[in-house]
Amino acid sequence: MQQESDFQLFSSLRYDPLLSGLPINTEHWDAEPKTGSPFYMLPFHRDRILQAAEHFGWTEAAIKFHGREGFDILLKSISEAISQTSLTPLRVRILLSRDGSIRVESSPTPSVSQFNLFPERGLPQPRGIEVKVSPLTGGALMLGENDEAYGDPERSTPWDVMPDKERTPPTSFTSYKTTNRDMYTGARERVGIQDMTEKREVLIVSERDGEIMEGSLTSVFLWRNGAWTTPPVASGGQIGTTRRWALEKGFCVEGVVRIEDLVDGEECWISNGVRGFILGKIKLS
């Protein structure tokens, strides 16, 4: 087991040539003029690593990532490690050590639609629920089993999303992304996930009143009281990059969800900085 003092901070993001043609991907950049970038939501990844460095008191590392200069250092490090002439989407892992040193790793990742990365209308409501459309067209519509509206993320075969069989205590290592991930590895093993490529996810459940914290690799969104709802950070999970984006766009709200509130077979969405937004289905047995 890894010692708590022996860890790095990290964030995983997507490299994809598709992103270079999407202005929305650089709307949070400080740089002017805002040019296209193949790195998915890069400023949010810098922010989450910086917040973690400040939380753990890593002064040298925090200084390295602070401000416009820190963002430029991060961008330079990734750009030197990743060939931007590559047409293959990549999972890019940024690791930051206590002394401020940066390491970048990469591996291939599957192609996805631009609307799985940036849904234009937000996250589609569960099937069978009336969907309001633009006032320019008037009225409302009911999506059929295989219908999709333009700008929505693809509804391919949903991932199985299962709650962990055990409870996890919230700590700094669940609130911030570090290489100390024994709690996530254990949760995946308990529900039988053996490979990173499986289309299955496990929800981490807090020992505090059975609150859902997040997924082992994703943020989670559940339909509650007429809105997509994601667990608040007070439940013990992380400030995920795609989660932050969805909240800022008004595509979801924060709200406590407990394990006893889950419904077998209900649709949900999960997301992360590599795959974007993915349709899921709760599986309780």
Q: Are residues 83 and 196 in the same domain?
A: no
State the DSSP code for 128.
T
Residue 34 — very low, low, confident or very high, per pLDDT cuts 50/70/90? low
If asked whether residues 254 and 196 sit together in one domain, one would say yes
pLDDT at 37 over 80: yes
Find the range with the poorest average confidence among 17-31, 157-171, 209-223.
17-31
Question: How many C-beta atoms surround the C-beta of residue 264 within 10 A?
Answer: 9
**Same domain for 176 and 84:** no
Which of 47, 81, 108 is the C-terminal boundary of a domain? 108
Is 146 inside any structural domain?
A: no
Query: pLDDT at position 145, please?
Result: 47
Contact status, residue 204 vs residue 213, Cβ threshold 8 Å: yes
| Residue 197 within a domain | yes
* 259-271 pLDDT tens trace: 999 999 999 999 9
pLDDT band, residue 192 (cuts 50/70/90): very high
Structural domain including 45 reads 9-108
* 141 pLDDT more than 50: no
123 touches 165 (CB < 8 A): no
pLDDT at 132 over 60: no
Instruction: With respect to residue 131, please indicate whether it lies within any of the assigned structural domains.
Output: no
CATH of residue 211: 3.20.10.10
Q: What residues does 140 pair with on adjacent strands? A: 132
Residue 30: predicted pLDDT? 75
Residue 102 sits in the same domain as residue 177: no
91 and 23 part of one domain: yes
Confidence of residue 137 (pLDDT cuts 50, 70, 90): very low
* pTM reported for the whole predicted model: 0.91
In a domain, 122, yes or no: no
Whether residues 103 and 24 fall in one domain: yes
- What is the helix (H) or strand (E) element at residue 15, kind and residue range? strand 9-15
The single residue listed with the structure tokens 């889950």 is: 262
Mean pLDDT score, 108-124: 96
Which of 44, 75, 108 marks a domain boundary?
Answer: 108
| Neighbouring C-beta atoms of residue 185, cutoff 10 Å | 11
> Is residue 119 domain-resident?
no
**Is there a domain that residue 3 lies in?**
no
Q: Quick one: 99 and 181 in the same domain? A: no
Least confident of 25-29, 110-114, 127-131: 127-131
**Is residue 93 one of the residues assigned to a domain?**
yes
**Domain count within the chain:** 2
CATH no. for residue 76?
3.30.470
The DSSP call for residue 53 is: H
pLDDT, tens digit, 9 for 90 and up, residues 58-89: 999 999 999 999 999 999 999 999 998 889 99
